[in-house]
Structure 1
Amino acid sequence: MVEAILFAAAQPVTVRDLAARLPAGCDPAEALAGLRRLYEGRGVGIERIGDGYAFRTAADLSFLMQTETVDQRRLSRAAVETLAIIAYHQPVTRAEIEEIRGVAVSRGTLDQLIEMEWVRVGRRRMTPGRPATFVVTEGFLDHFGLESARDLPGLSELRAAGLLDSRPPDEGMALPIVPDTDDEPGEGAGDVADDLFEDD
């Protein structure tokens, strides 16, 4: 029954949702564990995505799913940086994003990430003004093959992949608060980051 539900589901299904659909006395967690063992080494497997589970093609066979026609949307450098900050610092407010980036975040940047369903509005902070926070979605985790945001690569992994400069930043450099220019992608490291966050 769990296998059938996961196979038909368009989105990852949580253990709680499975329990609500199964007859009384069933243990969906135990069924999931058994199914995951059963599908080890097969062409498809059951992967954990956030709080839910879903069938996914085995990672080593992903090349079989590719087609010759690929519709790509490139994110601007501002969107890539904003997405990375949210992923690594969530839940984070707009003011905190601006403080980390050193530039003002335009409304269009956040709207684009929300429209792509990679970012959503989280709980409001219990501070003056009760600002909204932003977090990444299960769609973001699914796109990048992550079980949770804790699986994001660390600094050492990013440096090893050549995505970060190994030199420490200059101390005492203050970045001005300036508006975003969402229309133009960045250069250098920004371009590499853009490639990482292409939306196929």
Structure 2
Amino acid sequence: MAARSTKARREDGDGQRPLLDRELDHLPPEARWREWMNRVEATIFAASEPVDRETLARIVGKGCSIDLLIDDIREELRGRPYDLVSVAGGWKHLTRPAYADAIRVAVGSNEKAANLTQSDVLVLMCIAYFQPITRAELSSFFGKEISRDLIGNMRGAGLIASGPRSPTPGAPYTYVTTKNFLLEFGLDTLRDLPDFEALEDAGLLSKEKLLAGDIPVGLASGEDDGEEAEDGVTEGQLS
């Protein structure tokens, strides 16, 4: 065992990353599975951001099912005040909603979420559903101008970022949601937004129809000048 441990600590060919015995062939199946579970849970626990499947695959055997490992870990967490949740394209430890009040009293609320008014949330959800979308299109949707300050606040909170330029006259920037948006609202992907596909399939929710004149126009598209782009993680358009 000592020889194996020494070998596992040796560096690989590039001299930068230590080798890790992922297959654990020397262990009986039950012990091997337990060790994989421990590795996965420890990695997710230590990470500040959701850990994706590709990252977890680097610490377990090739024939190991990440999904089954996650299922077994979650089963052991039943009855605990926290869970392992699929969010923002990965997995993260999150406390259960039943303990939100206790956490709020002890350590306060999330300031970023608290700074969003109901109107802000409506604009943000419109961006989420219809991205990429311009500020002029948002203004047309709501029948009043959506201010640059509101857009700036959401960008500053890391909830939206600049998307591709619109093909409309003036080529204004569009806006898209970010990975942080998914994390803030507990979504794994944009397809987890409530009822979007059902409403779209029923013909009740369509960006094209809404922007074709079926809603009050508060700001013509020509009034929306180009804005500086900022780096961000584009989650992409719903399809």
**Do they superpose with TM above 0.5?**
yes
Residue type of the alignment partner of 1:29:
D
The offset of 1:125, in angstroms, is 5.6
Structure 1: tracts of 5 or more residues without a match:
156-170, 180-200
Q: Does 1 or 2 have the higher relative contact order (CA < 8 Å, sep 6+)? A: 1
The offset of 1:77, in angstroms, is 6.5
Specify whether residues 71 and 45 from structure 1 end up closer, same or farther in structure 2 by C-alpha distance, changes over 3 A only. closer
Out of 171, 177, 181, which is 2:219 matched to? 177
Specify whether residues 173 and 86 from structure 1 end up closer, same or farther in structure 2 by C-alpha distance, changes over 3 A only. closer
Aligned-partner Cα distance in 2 for 1:32–1:172? 46
* TM-score (norm: length of structure 2): 0.55
Specify whether residues 15 and 131 from structure 1 end up closer, same or farther in structure 2 by C-alpha distance, changes over 3 A only. farther
| Coordinate RMSD, CA, aligned | 3.4
Corresponding position of 2:95 = 57
Aligned residues: 163
Q: Could you report, residue by residue, the CA deviation over 1:2-35 in whole angstroms, capped at 9, with x for unpaired residues?
A: 1111000011111122224556555433322322
Specify whether residues 172 and 23 from structure 1 end up closer, same or farther in structure 2 by C-alpha distance, changes over 3 A only. closer
Structure 2: tracts of 5 or more residues without a match:
1-38, 197-212, 224-239
* Larger-Rg structure: 2
Aligned-partner Cα distance in 1 for 2:141–2:69? 44
In the alignment, structure 1 residue 140 sits paired with structure 2 residue 178: no
In the alignment, structure 1 residue 88 sits paired with structure 2 residue 88: no
Residue type of the alignment partner of 2:152:
D
The offset of 1:86, in angstroms, is 0.9
* TM-score (norm: length of structure 1): 0.63
Aligned-partner Cα distance in 1 for 2:172–2:215? 28
Q: Could you report, residue by residue, the CA deviation over 1:45-89 in whole angstroms, capped at 9, with x for unpaired residues?
A: 100112111001122222221226558554466634421311232
In the alignment, structure 1 residue 47 sits paired with structure 2 residue 85: yes
In the alignment, structure 1 residue 127 sits paired with structure 2 residue 149: no
Q: Would you identify which runs of 4 or more consecutive aligned residues in structure 1 move more than 6 Å? A: none
In the alignment, structure 1 residue 102 sits paired with structure 2 residue 143: yes
Aligned-partner Cα distance in 1 for 2:68–2:133? 35
